[in-house]
Amino acid sequence: MASSWTILCVLGVLAVSSTDAVYKGTYIGKFSTLHHDVIGDVYAIDNITIYVEGFSYDGEAPDAFFFAGNKTPEPSNRGFIIPDERGRSEVLGPYRSQNLVLRFPKTKKGQRSLNDVQWVSVWCRKFAIDFGHVKVPRGIKLPQSQVAIGLESDSPQMRASAVMIADTDTFVVEDFSFDGTIPDAIFVMGSGNADASGSQVPDEKGSLNPLRKYNKKTLVLPIPPEVKGQTIQYFGVWSPSKGMLASVTFDPNALIPPSVKSLP
């Protein structure tokens, strides 16, 4: 840790080193350029969210949408609209080298996802024309949040129903309770063994003060800047006087979603 306490806790893989380009998720491919100057590179942030980098389209078609489907191997009208970057299912206007985050829609039948589609297209429904598309490879490995259970201790009394690595910036401690009887307890995360030293995690208010008493509170905690881009394997509650009080571990090879806030 960067303060007087040396510690750390786990959390999954942040699959890019500090010397690499910004991690954008799993690369799916490049839009083919068929009509209306469509270009762009497509990444999977997770199974329901894509990132389109450098997207361009002249906006001149009367009924064009981001569109996806699995009923046919090539783009067709047998698909569904992916809402635009504002979450709207409206006819697309012009874009010029823009970076977009697009989320698949939820329907009465359930959540649409990349697991369900063979292609993503810029598609004109009125004239049934594909302006450009990208194929979703079979068996593609998609980033996903990682969940661990088992953060608990009888002395002190401590429980959490789950700890989740939400993305490369954030993890969530669900239903966290702590009796506050250890006055120097703090959140920690790191690589290697869960009893190794590492980095302190600020609490949900951004404070590095020792933990106060909690009663079934869900906490959203930031990954410290000094460990972003590193392989993180454990998360725990640590006491400089008593050591690791409780911890959970994660798969160091897991593919974690990139934080949307970190994307260009």
- End of a domain among 66, 101, 135? 135
Could you tell me the residue range of the domain that residue 64 belongs to?
Answer: 26-135
Query: Does the CA dihedral 88-91-96-100 come out positive or negative?
Result: positive
**Claim to verify: residue 180 and residue 101 sit in the same structural domain:** no
**Claim to verify: residue 48 and residue 94 sit in the same structural domain:** yes
Q: Tell me 23's DSSP state.
A: P
Residue 59 lies in a domain: yes
Distance CA 202, CA 209 (A): 8
Residue 5 lies in a domain: no
Which pair of structure tokens corresponds to residue 80? 């569904």
pLDDT tens for 37-77 read 999 999 999 999 999 999 999 999 999 999 999 999 999 99
Residue 1 lies in a domain: no
**CB contact at 8 A, 237 and 257:** no
pTM, 2 dp: 0.87
**Claim to verify: residue 151 and residue 46 sit in the same structural domain:** no
Residue 7 lies in a domain: no
Residue 76 lies in a domain: yes
Number of domains the chain contains? 2
Which pair of structure tokens corresponds to residue 11? 């959390």
**Claim to verify: residue 49 and residue 91 sit in the same structural domain:** yes
Q: If DSSP states are collapsed to H, E and C, what string results for 133-172?
A: EEECCCCCCCCCCEEECCCEECCCCEECCEEEEEECCEEE
Q: What are the φ/ψ torsions at residue 157 (nearest 5 degrees)?
A: -70, 120
Distances 123 to 41, 54, 77, 118, 129 between C-alpha atoms, Å:
16, 18, 8, 14, 6
**Claim to verify: residue 100 and residue 154 sit in the same structural domain:** no
pLDDT tens for 1-47 read 443 333 333 333 443 333 357 899 999 999 999 999 999 999 999 99
Q: What are the φ/ψ torsions at residue 220 (nearest 5 degrees)?
A: -105, 115
Residue-level length of the chain:
264
**Claim to verify: residue 67 and residue 101 sit in the same structural domain:** yes
Half-sphere CA count of 43, side-chain side, radius 13 A? 22
Please, which pLDDT band fits residue 229 given cuts at 50, 70 and 90? confident
- End of a domain among 135, 152, 181? 135
**Claim to verify: residue 111 and residue 167 sit in the same structural domain:** no
pLDDT tens for 186-197 read 999 998 887 766
Residue 2 lies in a domain: no
**Claim to verify: residue 213 and residue 251 sit in the same structural domain:** yes
